[in-house]
Structure 1
Amino acid sequence: MKRQKRDRLERAYSKGFQAGAAGRSKDYCPYNEIDIKSQWLGGWREGTEGRLAGLFTK
C-alpha cells in the first residue's frame, strides 16, 4: 500500500515550527507562495514562542 504524502500546507507549518524551535530567522523561509509562506511563518512563530518559553533546548 502506498503512503500518502502529507498536505503541503501541513508540511510547511511543520518545517516552520522546526526552524523556529531551532532559533532560525524567519528570513530562512524557503517558500514564495503567499498561502504556503503564511503557514510556514505561523509554524515558525509557534516554534519561536515555545523556544522562548523554555520548552525546547538546542
Structure 2
Amino acid sequence: MPTYSYRCTVCGHAFDIHQSFSESALTVCPECDGLLRKVFSTPAVTFKGAGFYRTDSASSSSK
C-alpha cells in the first residue's frame, strides 16, 4: 500500500497515511477540519549504472 503525505492549508498540520489506490484522497484535516492538500515529492527509486537498457545486458552471441 502506498504512503501519501498531506498538509492542512489552514493550520499547517502535516502527516503521512497508508492508503490503497482505490481509496479516495483525504480532504478534511483531522486537527482543525480545514482543507487538506496532498504533498508531492520525488520518488525514492533511483536507477544508476549499467544494465537498465536492452543493449546493456544483451550478450554478443544473442544478437
The normalised TM-score by structure 2 is 0.26
Structure holding more strand per residue: 2
The normalised TM-score by structure 1 is 0.27
Structure holding more helix per residue: 1
